[in-house]
Structure 1
Amino acid sequence: MVAHPLWLPIPCGCPSLVVALVVALSNRYKQMTTEKSLKIIGLITVLLICACNPYDDSKTERTDTAKESDLIIAERINTGKETTQELEPVVIGVAWANEDAHFVKGVQLATKEINDEGGVLGKPCADPPVPGRLLELIVEDGEKKALNSSLTLRQKQDITVKVARSFAANPRVVAVTGHRSSYQAVPASIVYQFHGIAFIAPTSTNLNLTDHRFNYVFRMTPNNKAIAKQLASYCHKKGYKKIVILHSKSSYGSQLADSFFSSFVKKPTEKEEPQTKIVLLRSFFSKKKDFSDLMVELKAAKKNDDFDAIFIATGADMAAMIYQESRDMGFKEPFIGAEGLDNLKFWEAVKEWEISEEVFTEKSVVPTLFNTTAKVPISQTFIEKFKKQYGFEPDHYAALGYDSIKILVHGIKKANSTRPFKIAETLRYMPACQAVTGKYQFKMDGDVRTRKFHFKFFRQGKFEYEETDFKDFLLAQQDCGNIDKDKDCIPNDKDACPDNTKEEISKGVYQKSKHTSPRNGKGH
């Protein structure tokens, strides 16, 4: 049993077991003090509520709703006839604080593409063609209330749980994407797990998201430990020997700082001096505004031991303030940040200073999964489509939003089902598929398998990217969401000729290969 606050769902047993437990507790604690009695009464109340509203009912209703729609379209495919029953859309929830954000636009673009192609689970090559089920988005921006800085963490999480429960209350919702921050995604994941909803967290990096090993929960971005390890490797490659670590006293900042420390500092042999070292390690509260004390300590560290770079683990707004103040104080060392700093606020501060190539020879760097300059067809196609649709360049949030829908659709198509547990099971065991932000394949706990970052920096008026190892960016064999590339109703992994054009298929002409076609036995 995972311990969690009372506002999170509590897994329930059978009502008879709960009643027995209530009776036992009542008999055992008749002589308790008032305070303890109240605690027991509270526990009994929770147990009774739990017994009356088991989460299995929610899962069952969601599964039955999805199964019913799956059977309707299966009957149409098998009989070739229309049915009187209406074909319901596949409903996906989107949790993001701003409906006009890049992330949401990326989600909407992917959804439009899929619907324009006929939706999912249909059979366009049948005679007559069987249209698929369209995707329907429910965008919930309730988390914008959590942007109020005066709220406590608990209050912000209460807002998130309310959003998650709104999706859970709708039995037509089979999957959810979004919840930008880890403090939102982690509690939301528990709601989705107990209600049986497939959940993809595109931007959550906190280790706790997958520590529970939930079978409905997946992350798209590597966790804080993996991010810190890659950043440490980058610093080693650049030849940085002495580093300053500055981090906020949050779970995000502490996880990154601790992981970076252990990855960066190389243990020397008995006769050697340390090859790398942390010359200053300082933390600060997340609401801090005045960083003059940090600047004093940086000056002292510079004088006493010098340093090559500053590793910073905090949010983009605070990182921008620290960066700006350090430059005002004359520090020219590069800042090394995590993926959360791939944000307009931070880059605006960097651009103001690092436009000077002579002064800032070593560039501040942020890891990203989205390389806008990479000559990868799927990425460049996405960029062009996004610009055509919205009139401006996509950022990494837009790319992650787009990819999250493509990954969910990949799971739906390969599972040939919209039942959430089937989608989740398929995603967990599927081979890697290629998306805009790289290859996706998941571990048993829902973590994304090894993903290498591009290291983004600003030089000569534009963004550039540096790779640590090009072999890590080899493309997967099929694109996420596209399991039948030539639309001949034979999945790519079973199709000896997956790249035929419509004209070739209509003429029975196949590409040359040592294989033979399973359709006509001829070479292709």
Structure 2
Amino acid sequence: MKRIVKILLVFMLSLGTLTGCWDADLAKQRAKEAGQGDDIIIGVPVPRDFTEKNTGFLKGLELALEDINSRGVNNKKVKLEIVDDRGVFKNAVDIAQGFSENTRMTAVIGHWFSDICIPVSSIYEESGLLVVVPTVSNTELAENNYRYIFQNVPSDKKVAEHICLHAKNEGFKHMVIYYEDSSYGWNLADAFEKEAKNNGIKIVDRCSDMISEIDLRRAHDKWTALDFDAVFLALNMPEGGQFIKEFRKLDPRTPILSGDGLDVSNIAEALGGDGEGVVMATIYNPLDGRPELKEFKERYRQKYGEEPDVWAIQGYDSLQLITRAIEETDSCSPAVLADYLRNMKSMRLVAGDISFNDYGEVQGREVYKKKIVNGELKYID
């Protein structure tokens, strides 16, 4: 039902694009006006409360902005317009419309959640606004074959491949998938089920939206009868943490695997003892010895007195990606920047050397696994 509502909303937005003020003319106007004036304007729509409490994303952006503006970008400063969409679809639509109508704006970094990002991306695409997506791994985003949208995070397919291989190596034969009722949950669950089949793992059940302890108990009885030996979660936080806590009341031993939706900086603390043994995907390995990562970590620690998480790096790299493209092309035109990003051989960033394919999907990014052991996160092969 959610998906139908979103499709209808996007359809109505598309009609507005054809008949209202943000039509193809906006893209032409932006090509002339983006970057004009003293500042290069980049919009950042985020669920601010969530990102500040659970991630270092905004701190990574702040550090990148400090670095960039200390040297300037083609004799200009970068200005971030950070706006709180609160993770609410209507708010995000309003923000996207506002950003699109600002023809001096060059790019957007966001949105955070796939249920928001995927539908509102059509607004940005129609208005010719460059978008770098640092958190949404859903393959639906690239399937739209947009010109201006770039997915700077490995896809759910790649995440599923790595976690399924781990499950196979652990000897799991019968697994359950529990997913959230969102495009992220559906897509990751589908990707995992497909990869499980390829690895000889049978999915004995997949379900979502168990809203009570009774629902979970009944489901667990069913899974036990089907001889399940592990659970895969396609959930974001905080819902993922809540499920694990409830599940552990019934079952303290069955292994739990997850996509990257649980990969927030305070995950071990949030789960407490219930998190012991949980394995999750991540796109960041702090043990990587590359000098770019080492330098970033040292500067981040000096500024904030803490270790950076994956989302701090995503914030930092996403802003660096855009500004380096501006420097390389000597242009703030989103069309010029989009063509450059799609055709560049590679760019060295904190997270690694990346490029993009014809669909705007990032290439060169790795997926890793980590496990909560004795209350701490340990990276595993």
Q: TM-score, normalised by structure 2?
A: 0.89
Which residue identity is paired with 2:72? G
1:434 to 348, 351, 368: 348
- Please state how far the C-alpha of 1:332 moved relative to its aligned partner: 0.7
Alignment of 1:295-314 (within 5 A): 295-302=217-224, 304-314=225-235
Q: Equivalent residue of 1:166, what SS?
A: helix
Which residue identity is paired with 1:104? L
Partner Cα separation in structure 1 for residue 115 and residue 222 of structure 2: 35
Aligned to 1:406: 320
Kept in 2, the 8 Å contact 1:351–1:458? The answer is no
Alignment of 1:142-157 (within 5 A): 143-144=85-86, 146=87, 156-157=88-89
Q: Over alpha carbons, which structure has the higher Rg? A: 1
Aligned to 1:511: none
Partner Cα separation in structure 2 for residue 253 and residue 65 of structure 1: 39
Gaps spanning 5+ residues in structure 1: where? Answer: 13-48, 70-86, 122-131, 147-155, 268-274, 356-362, 468-524
Aligned to 1:283: 207
Partner Cα separation in structure 2 for residue 322 and residue 461 of structure 1: 18
Q: Equivalent residue of 1:7, what SS?
A: helix
Partner Cα separation in structure 2 for residue 6 and residue 220 of structure 1: 28
Aligned to 1:107: 61
2:32 to 45, 55, 64: 64
Partner Cα separation in structure 2 for residue 424 and residue 381 of structure 1: 29
- Please state how far the C-alpha of 1:349 moved relative to its aligned partner: 5.0
Partner Cα separation in structure 1 for residue 267 and residue 214 of structure 2: 19
Q: Equivalent residue of 2:95, what SS?
A: helix
- Please state how far the C-alpha of 1:250 moved relative to its aligned partner: 2.7
Aligned to 1:420: 334
Kept in 2, the 8 Å contact 1:316–1:341? The answer is yes
Aligned to 1:138: 81
2:378 to 450, 461, 464: 464
Kept in 2, the 8 Å contact 1:202–1:404? The answer is yes
Kept in 2, the 8 Å contact 1:157–1:187? The answer is no
2:188 to 256, 267, 278: 256
Which residue identity is paired with 1:395? D
Partner Cα separation in structure 2 for residue 412 and residue 329 of structure 1: 54
Partner Cα separation in structure 1 for residue 335 and residue 198 of structure 2: 44
- What's the Cα RMSD here? 2.4
Aligned to 1:216: 148
Partner Cα separation in structure 1 for residue 293 and residue 61 of structure 2: 15
Partner Cα separation in structure 1 for residue 275 and residue 93 of structure 2: 41
Partner Cα separation in structure 2 for residue 338 and residue 8 of structure 1: 32
1:246 to 158, 178, 191: 178
Report which of the two has the higher share of helix: 2
CA deviations on 1:383-422 (whole Å, 9 max, x unpaired) are 2212222222222221111110111122112222111111
Q: TM-score, normalised by structure 1?
A: 0.66
- Please state how far the C-alpha of 1:238 moved relative to its aligned partner: 2.6
CA deviations on 1:254-301 (whole Å, 9 max, x unpaired) are 22112211111248xxxxxxx43223x13122xx53143323332343
- Please state how far the C-alpha of 1:193 moved relative to its aligned partner: 0.9
Cα pair distance change 1:409/1:290, threshold 3 Å? same
Kept in 1, the 8 Å contact 2:275–2:375? The answer is no
Which residue identity is paired with 2:301? K
CA deviations on 1:442-472 (whole Å, 9 max, x unpaired) are 11111112532110112244322124xxxxx
Cα pair distance change 1:453/1:338, threshold 3 Å? same
Aligned to 2:254: 333
1:385 to 299, 314, 336: 299
Quick one: percent identity of the two aligned structures?
28
1:348 to 269, 272, 277: 269
Larger RCO of the pair (alpha carbons < 8 Å, separation 6+): 2
- Please state how far the C-alpha of 1:64 moved relative to its aligned partner: 1.3
Aligned to 1:294: 216
- Please state how far the C-alpha of 1:353 moved relative to its aligned partner: 3.5
Kept in 1, the 8 Å contact 2:236–2:262? The answer is yes
Q: Equivalent residue of 1:252, what SS?
A: helix
Aligned to 2:167: 235
Aligned to 1:97: 47
Partner Cα separation in structure 1 for residue 61 and residue 289 of structure 2: 23
Kept in 2, the 8 Å contact 1:96–1:104? The answer is no
Aligned to 2:127: 195
Number of residue pairs matched? 370
- Please state how far the C-alpha of 1:345 moved relative to its aligned partner: 6.4
Partner Cα separation in structure 2 for residue 435 and residue 393 of structure 1: 18
